Amino acid sequence: MKTPCSVIRDLLPLYQDGVCSPESRQLVEEHLEECETCRAEWERMSAPIPTAHPQVEERTVAQAASSAWKRGRQRAFRKGFVIAAVLAAVTCLCMAILFFSQEPPFEFYGVLSDPTFHPNTGSVSFQLSVDDGYPVSIVVDEDTKVFSPFDAYPGQALKDGSISTPLRVFVQLDQAPVILYEEEEETTAYHAKLVELTAYQTSDTLPLSDGTQVEVWQGTMESLYALPQGPVLLEVHDPVGPGQDEQLLQLPQEVQDRILDYYTQFPLAYDLQSELNRAYQLYLQWTSPHLFPAQVVRQETTLSACAPNVLYFATTVDRYSEMGDLDQETSCTAFYKDSGEPVDLQTLFTCTPKTLIQSLLDHSDLVLPEQQPELVEAFRLDYLTFHPDRLLVTYPVGTLPSQEVVTGFYFPYDDAILEYMPAWAVPYAP
């Protein structure tokens, strides 16, 4: 939905070969579901290539392989078994030490740095600092598939070793190590089958409350904030939406433009510095031996309802991490359909916010009478979200006494609301 087609086209060959990161695979699959042109390209790519006599060829190759194998098998068996067993034991031990005995495929996320060009082989080696693990040398050569969504960091530059900016990557490595010779020094390295660039380090930094400077990394649709040589604390996605909704497309072009312009200027519905401080506090309390899970912040604006002369949008901020703990805040913006100007939320109601919420609570059996005073006291109009069939009131965490999660209530558009709302502002029934 939000990934550019050009990025998807670059990923398709890797996707076809089954060599891309789980994230990329998901991006491609989501995009193919929604984008007809890329789907056509994918179908063209994945159509079988006709061969002259496939059955004959297959049989001949299979027979040849099978008879060669039988001939060599008995002779090689004893000797081969012993060598294989020793090699396997040594390799396993090395792998275990290096990578906590990870099962194949050999896949890692990490930071790539320090390119070294090897003139004798034409390959380039890098240091890969594996997230949650140890540094390892990897070799990139002409056989390596490189995927980069960044114009400034093309795949070929990685193969040339001409990128000195640290890069965040997903890699797939060959299991068998290779030995690199560099000025009579031997290093064990692993050949990279695939390198997928996910983010590059910018020259920006942001200070934490204790003076620590956080590194800023740029991904395709997100910014990463990481401790120096440490984990990503915070992953902030570029704000999304509003999309080209049918209800919006029906309005005159200049009205549409005015509404979309508003959102290009729209301030973030959260404060970056406090999000960063919050993630850092969680990191300081993190005692598990596992890698700290980056805290994710995502903001999305969608059209939520339509009224005779108003379009209602809802902006949602989601906070979560791999550990779950989702927290969601929703706020509302409304626009006049005839001008595209934002609506002062107070003009949607002929009463004060307190009268409105009291009326809603009085007509509802959702809330106990003793809970009502704090809900009335904390209420603000921008806690409202307008849906076609109901009005949602959400109290963000921290706005009610002893509140641990977002608290929300739905109200139908009945007399409790309609008494105070002009007809031009009441959302259409679905």
Contacts of 315 (CB under 8 A, 6+ apart): 266, 269, 299, 300, 301, 330, 331, 332, 333
Residue number, 20 or 360, with CB nearest to Zn ion: 20
Q: Which is nearer to Zn ion, 5 or 268 (CB)?
A: 5
Burial class (CB in 10 A: 0-12, 13-18, 19+), 29: exposed
User: Which three-class secondary structure state does DSSP give residue 383?
Assistant: helix
* Contact present, 212 and 227 (Cβ < 8 Å): yes
The least distance separating Zn ion from the CB of residue 205, rounded to whole angstroms, comes to 35
Nearest of 317, 219, 195, 169 to residue 3 by alpha carbon? 219
- Minimum Å gap between C-beta 33 and Zn ion is 11
Minimal distance, residue 37 CB to Zn ion, in Å: 5
| Minimal distance, residue 25 CB to Zn ion, in Å | 16
Q: Which is nearer to Zn ion, 6 or 188 (CB)?
A: 6
Cα angle for residues 41, 42, 47 (degrees, 5° grid) = 105
- Smallest separation, CB 5 to Zn ion (Å): 3
Burial 354-367 (b: 16+ CB within 10 A, else e): eebbbbbbeeeeee
DSSP state for residue 337 in the 8-state scheme: T
Nearer to Zn ion, 38 or 236 (CB): 38
Distance CA 276, CA 282 (A): 10
CA-CA distances (angstroms) from residue 400 to 360, 383, 385?
18, 13, 18
Cβ contact 381:353 at 8 Å: yes
Contact 9, 31 (CB under 8 A): no
103 in Cβ contact with 123 (< 8 Å): no
Taking the least distance from each CB to Zn ion, the nearer of 10 and 318 is 10
Closest distance to Zn ion from the beta carbon of 39 (Å): 8
Shortest Cβ 280–Zn ion spacing (Å): 38
Phi and psi at 298, nearest 5°, equal: -135, 130
**Nearest approach, Cβ of 221 to Zn ion (angstroms)?**
15
**Residue 230: closest CA among 204, 210, 209, 212:** 212
DSSP string for residues in 216-281:
EEEESSEEEEE-TTS-EEEEEEPPB-----HHHHTS-HHHHHHHHHHHHHPPPSS-HHHHHHHHHH
Q: How far is the CB of 220 from Zn ion (least distance, A)?
A: 14
Of the pair 147, 411, the CB lying nearest Zn ion is at 147
Residue with Cβ nearer Zn ion (26 or 213): 26
Neighbouring-strand partners of residue 392: 385, 410
Cα-based angle 147, 151, 156 (whole degrees, multiple of 5) = 50
Q: Per the structure block, which two tokens stand in for 252?
A: 């005159």
CB of 147 to Zn ion, least distance (A): 16
CA gap 129, 132 in Å, rounded = 9
**Among residues 12 and 236, whose Cβ is nearest to Zn ion?**
12
160: left (phi over 0), alpha (psi -120 to 50) or beta: alpha
- For 418, phi then psi, to 5°, come to -60, -25
Which spans of this chain sit near Zn ion (rule: CB under 5 A)?
Answer: 5, 35, 38
Nearer to Zn ion, 5 or 56 (CB): 5
Find the shortest distance in angstroms from Cβ 20 to Zn ion. Answer: 16
Return the number of the residue (3 or 137) whose C-beta is nearest Zn ion: 3
